[in-house]
């Protein structure tokens, strides 16, 4: 048996596995994944969040956590009611993971299959940018319900987000929808100003024949909350952006419940 080959994992205790992806870096995948997970939990679901970005893990800082003593800490780590796993719990932020692809694939596999996630309604997976080892390992090993694609409104982001959509189509992972992040800034007077372009998310949704899941506004408190370790949905639940995330969670929940992503049939040898 080739040790580098994907192991198909059953994950029987987990009802839905949703990847948050893009293709493009810096569009807010980790922020969307963290707040989507938080919003699903706040709507009554049991949720796990797996950080598949081995090179640049963001989940720990977004939840006010860091490197832990692996010998003394059972994984996943629970914070704000969400079960978490990240490379950021195993290495300090000052350490660079200078790894070739097969080791990244192994790490993603082990986070999926060797962590006792228990029973979950949702496992949200925060993917790194690109269409490489982490994405392929997930598509081959995990029983993915679907992928949520994050983009910012401009064409520079769309170019790579399209590649992400194409990749998931190639491996037959359902695209649950497109989320447009950083859509506009609302000033104190209530005027909306688009900072990063207009309409890219809807354009990608139409091109891809995928649902448009909505816009997320720019709110300086999002970054503050990310840096300070409490997702904005939890910290400021009455904010417009928190309401947008709760709506996103409801839409994702409805889409997941009606998803027809079944596994391929077994072969009778």
Partner 1 sequence: MAGELQPLNLKRVGDGLQIQWSDGVTTTTSWRHLRANCPCAGCIETRAKPPDPFRVLTPQEVAAGPPQPVAMQPIGHYAYKITWNDGHDTGIYPVERLRQLGEENK
CB 252 within 8 A of CB 210: no
Output 38 or 165, the one with its CB closest to partner 1: 165
Total residues in contact with partner 1, by rule CB under 8 A: 24
User: Given the rule CB under 8 A, which of 78-86, 136-144, 181-189, 242-250 is the region that contacts partner 1?
Assistant: 136-144
Can residue 5 be called a binding residue for partner 1 (CB under 8 A)?
A: yes
Q: What is the DSSP letter of 149?
A: E
Can residue 100 be called a binding residue for partner 1 (CB under 8 A)?
A: no
Can residue 166 be called a binding residue for partner 1 (CB under 8 A)?
A: no
CB 75 within 8 A of CB 103: no
Output 103 or 172, the one with its CB closest to partner 1: 172
Output 77 or 261, the one with its CB closest to partner 1: 261
Instruction: Return the residue matching tokens 């205790």.
Output: 13
CA distance 85 to 135: 17
- Least distance between partner 1 and beta carbon 196 (Å): 31
Can residue 140 be called a binding residue for partner 1 (CB under 8 A)?
A: yes
49-84 burial, b at 16+ Cβ within 10 Å, e below that, comes to bbbbbbeebbbbbbbebebeeeeeeebbbebbebbb
Can residue 267 be called a binding residue for partner 1 (CB under 8 A)?
A: yes
Considering only 48, 57, 174, 200, the residue that binds partner 1 (CB under 8 A) is 174
Can residue 258 be called a binding residue for partner 1 (CB under 8 A)?
A: no
CB 75 within 8 A of CB 107: no
How do beta strands 82-85 and 47-51 pair? parallel
Considering only 68, 91, 171, 247, the residue that binds partner 1 (CB under 8 A) is 171
CB 185 within 8 A of CB 193: yes
Report the DSSP beta bridge partners of residue 57. none
User: Given the rule CB under 8 A, which of 53-61, 102-110, 111-119, 137-145 is the region that contacts partner 1?
Assistant: 137-145
Can residue 103 be called a binding residue for partner 1 (CB under 8 A)?
A: no
User: Given the rule CB under 8 A, which of 11-19, 100-108, 133-141, 153-161 is the region that contacts partner 1?
Assistant: 133-141
Bond into 76 cis (ω within 30): yes
Can residue 96 be called a binding residue for partner 1 (CB under 8 A)?
A: no
CA distance 10 to 16: 12
Output 20 or 173, the one with its CB closest to partner 1: 173
- Least distance between partner 1 and beta carbon 27 (Å): 24
Can residue 207 be called a binding residue for partner 1 (CB under 8 A)?
A: no
- Least distance between partner 1 and beta carbon 17 (Å): 11
Considering only 31, 46, 109, 139, the residue that binds partner 1 (CB under 8 A) is 139
Report the DSSP beta bridge partners of residue 212. 178
CA distances from 54 to 58, 60, 93, 176, 224 (A): 9, 12, 12, 24, 23
Residues in contact with partner 1 by the rule CB under 8 A? 1-2, 5-6, 8, 139-142, 144, 170-174, 260-261, 263-269
């Amino acid at each position: 048996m080739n040790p580098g080959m994907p192991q198909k994992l059953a994950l029987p205790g987990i009802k839905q596995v949703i990847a948050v992806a893009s293709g493009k870096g810096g569009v807010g995948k980790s922020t969307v994944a963290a707040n989507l997970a938080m919003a699903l939990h706040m709507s009554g679901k049991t949720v796990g969040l797996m950080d598949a970005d081995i090179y640049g893990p963001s989940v720990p800082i977004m939840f006010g956590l860091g490197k832990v003593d692996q010998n003394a800490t059972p994984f996943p780590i629970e914070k704000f009611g969400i079960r978490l796993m990240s490379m950021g719990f195993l290495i300090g932020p000052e350490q660079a993971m200078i790894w070739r692809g097969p080791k990244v694939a192994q790490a993603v596999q082990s986070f999926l299959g060797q962590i006792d996630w228990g029973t979950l309604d949702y496992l949200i997976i925060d993917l790194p940018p690109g269409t490489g080892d982490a994405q392929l390992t997930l598509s081959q090993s995990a029983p993915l319900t679907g992928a949520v694609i994050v983009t910012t409104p401009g064409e520079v982001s769309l170019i790579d987000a399209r590649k992400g959509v194409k990749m998931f189509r190639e491996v037959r992972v359902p695209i649950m929808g497109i989320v447009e992040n950083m859509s506009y800034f609302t000033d104190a007077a209530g005027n909306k100003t688009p900072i990063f372009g207009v309409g890219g998310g809807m354009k990608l949704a139409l091109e891809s024949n995928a649902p448009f899941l909505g816009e997320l506004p720019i709110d300086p408190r999002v970054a503050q909350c990310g840096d300070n370790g409490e997702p904005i949905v939890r910290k400021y639940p009455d904010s417009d952006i928190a309401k947008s995330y709760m709506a996103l969670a409801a839409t994702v929940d409805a889409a997941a419940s009606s998803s027809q992503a079944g596994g391929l049939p077994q072969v009778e040898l």
